[in-house]
Amino acid sequence: MKKYLKSIFALMAAAVLVLPVFAGCGGDPVEPGPTPDDPVDPPPVVSDPVDYAGELKLDLASETKKQEVTVRNFIDGDTTHFDPVTNSTLTEYNSADFAGTDGFIKARYIAVDTPESTGDIEKWGKTASKFTRGKLEKAEKIIVESDDGRWNIDSTGERYVLWIWYMPEGETEFRNLNVEILQNGLAFASSTAQNRYGETAFAALNQARDQHLCIYSPAGTVDENFFEGDALPVDLKQLRFRVGNYVDKKVSVDGVVVALLADGAFQTAYIEDYVEADGVAYGMAVFLGTSTSALSKVFTVGNTVHVVGTVTYYETGDTYQISGVHANAIRPREDDSVVTGTGEVHFQELTAKQISQDKLTMEFTVKGEEGEETLEDVTINFGEAVMGSSASLTNLKVVSAYTTQKGDNTGAISLTCEQTNADNTKTTIIVRTLPLYEDGVLIPQSRYVGKTINVKGIIDKYEGVYQLKVNLSANIEILD
């Protein structure tokens, strides 16, 4: 997200009273002290700060659109997906309002631009994301409000630009989360003054700026949620079995690029490492965002790559990925991802039962504080162990299908398949395709329904269920 630190800050600073620290990045009130990198004296403490988020009041009778909601997915500090509350006593629900976006609300917060914490990884981004989540997770009620009398959608065509109001646990008044993010110094300006609550929002931002909170803190201030050390060397097997040790940390890892999938404007590469001794390929998604040409050249299928990035949890996909990767084709830096050679896509032969029901146990060496070594057995779902890796499944009977009819995924097919096990029982697995074409014509679901197929794809997960994601029509072979 671009940072719009406008020159108007300098013009308005003289008009803003010097106020004390409001909250140390969302925690208890603290006074920032000097650091070795900060030659500027801390601002003086003169009075209590203004709680702009609490002073602003929600008017349920105003002309704006309002909808009570519950959280569907947390995305980052300024984006959340919500589901409407259909039987709300506070707002009227109209099913037609959100029919064009599959009935749920992708909310982009008005007036705030928090640092990145999903695609790119920026300082204070994860702190902002955790702040937003912490407020909404404990809220008794949440209401989203438009800036005027319409549900307005941003340039993506999918996200609503909204004010977010939440009622803290045990309280009876709503607080404005957009303004609260600003007054805690967790967002840059984003048309902050040009909206319904612009005067209050801009005052909250200026207060945080004058108090040197979070993103406005002196150079050298530590963000405990941002890993600033050297990349930790790790292999994909370790990441799959012990990912908790690496979440939100920068890692360096090697693998073969086995697929490159697009979701609208965003691209995700998948890398894997086939461990012959285990007979298993361990993989992981690498989020490229709006991929640059340099990244595209690195993450080409068949390349062996050395990846440097941050391990993050992708809530919508209920999985982990490597984000914040960069590449430079001319002069690679130490933290750039680079090509180191070529490799092979294994398409390991698996069964639906293995992926959905089996467990996998591996032994790892653990070093104690005194340097002593012990062995530790780690058991996870087999599907989790092979997430993000390539796989081949055979003799799947397609019993039903569903085709997406909206947005960039129009034409994508979900095939519900059954595979007969050795004991004659059946296991169900979903094969999810991207929009597939043949001679420029979109392939319909009728091509596959009722047929028996062999499939090659990437192990993925949707709403907690493991599935196989396919991006090429050539990777679905019809047997009958």
Q: Are 122 and 326 in contact (CB under 8 A)?
A: no
Residues sharing a CB contact under 8 Å with residue 402, sequence separation 6 or more, in sequence order: 413, 414, 416, 445
Confidence of residue 39 (pLDDT cuts 50, 70, 90): very low
143-152, 160-169, 313-322, range with the lowest pLDDT: 313-322
Query: How confident is the model at residue 396, as a pLDDT?
Result: 97
Confidence of residue 26 (pLDDT cuts 50, 70, 90): very low
Token pair, residue 146, equals 């438009």
The yes-or-no verdict on residue 3 having pLDDT over 70 is no
Residues sharing a CB contact under 8 Å with residue 433, sequence separation 6 or more, in sequence order: 412, 413, 414, 415, 469, 470, 471, 476
The yes-or-no verdict on residue 407 having pLDDT over 80 is no
276-285, 370-379, 461-470, range with the lowest pLDDT: 370-379
121 vs 68: CA distance, rounded Å: 31
19 DSSP 8-state letter: -
Q: What is the pLDDT of residues 423-455, one digit of tens each?
A: 999 999 999 999 999 999 999 999 999 999 999
* Host H or E run for residue 12: helix 8-13
Nearest CA to 374 out of 365, 382, 363, 361 is that of 365
Query: How confident is the model at residue 117, as a pLDDT?
Result: 82
Confidence of residue 28 (pLDDT cuts 50, 70, 90): very low
User: What is the distance between the terminal CA atoms of the chain, rounded to a whole angstrom?
Assistant: 49
Nearest CA to 253 out of 322, 316, 320 is that of 322
Beta strand ranges found along 86-172 (DSSP E): 105-109, 111-113, 141-145, 159-167
* Host H or E run for residue 469: strand 465-470
Entry field: residues in the chain: 480
User: CA torsion angle for 471, 472, 477, 480 (degrees, to 10)?
Assistant: 90
Q: Are 3 and 116 in contact (CB under 8 A)?
A: no
Mapped onto helix, strand or coil, the DSSP state of residue 282 is strand
Alpha carbon of 169 to those of 27, 142, 166, 280, 466: distances in Å? Answer: 17, 11, 9, 47, 35
Query: How confident is the model at residue 371, as a pLDDT?
Result: 67
Residues sharing a CB contact under 8 Å with residue 331, sequence separation 6 or more, in sequence order: none
The yes-or-no verdict on residue 394 having pLDDT over 90 is yes
Query: How confident is the model at residue 32, as a pLDDT?
Result: 44
Burial 437-462, CB ≥16 within 10 A → b, else e: eeeeeebebebbeebbbebbbbbbbe
Assign domain 8-216 one CATH number from 3.40.50.300, 3.30.565.10, 2.40.50.90, 3.40.50.620. 2.40.50.90
Query: How confident is the model at residue 20, as a pLDDT?
Result: 38
Q: Are strands 413-420 and 105-109 parallel, antiparallel or unpaired?
A: unpaired
Place of tokens 């569907």: 72
Give the helix, strand, coil percentages of the chain, each rounded to 5: 20, 35, 45
475 vs 461: CA distance, rounded Å: 19
> Mean pLDDT score of the chain, rounded to an integer?
87
Mapped onto helix, strand or coil, the DSSP state of residue 271 is strand
Instruction: Tell me how crowded residue 155 is: count the other CB atoms within 10 A of its CB.
Output: 8
Assign domain 232-342 one CATH number from 2.60.120.200, 2.40.50.140, 1.10.287.1080, 1.10.10.10. 2.40.50.140
Place of tokens 């799947």: 396
Q: What is the pLDDT of residues 109-119, one digit of tens each?
A: 999 999 988 77
The yes-or-no verdict on residue 175 having pLDDT over 80 is yes
Query: How confident is the model at residue 44, as a pLDDT?
Result: 46
Confidence of residue 265 (pLDDT cuts 50, 70, 90): confident
Phi-psi region of 9 (alpha: psi -120 to 50; beta: other; left: phi over 0): alpha
Burial 401-432, CB ≥16 within 10 A → b, else e: bebbeeebbebbbbbbbbbeeeeeeebebbbb
The domain spans of the chain are 8-216, 232-342, 353-478
Mapped onto helix, strand or coil, the DSSP state of residue 164 is strand
Beta strand ranges found along 110-215 (DSSP E): 111-113, 141-145, 159-167, 175-176, 188-190
Look up the CATH superfamily of 353-478.
Answer: Nucleic acid-binding proteins (2.40.50.140)
350 vs 391: CA distance, rounded Å: 6
For every residue of 352-396, DSSP letters joined together read: HHHHHH-EEEEEEEEE-TTS-EEEEEEEEEHHHHTTTSEEEEEEE
Query: How confident is the model at residue 405, as a pLDDT?
Result: 86
Question: What does pTM read for this prediction?
Answer: 0.74
What number is the average pLDDT over the span 350-369? 87
285 vs 317: CA distance, rounded Å: 11
Token pair, residue 290, equals 């709006």
As a whole-number percent, the residues of the chain with pLDDT over 70 amount to 89
Residues sharing a CB contact under 8 Å with residue 345, sequence separation 6 or more, in sequence order: 256, 258, 272, 301, 302, 390
**Cα four-point dihedral sign 145, 150, 151, 155:** negative
Query: How confident is the model at residue 42, as a pLDDT?
Result: 52
Nearest CA to 302 out of 254, 253, 257 is that of 257
CA 332 to chain centre: 27
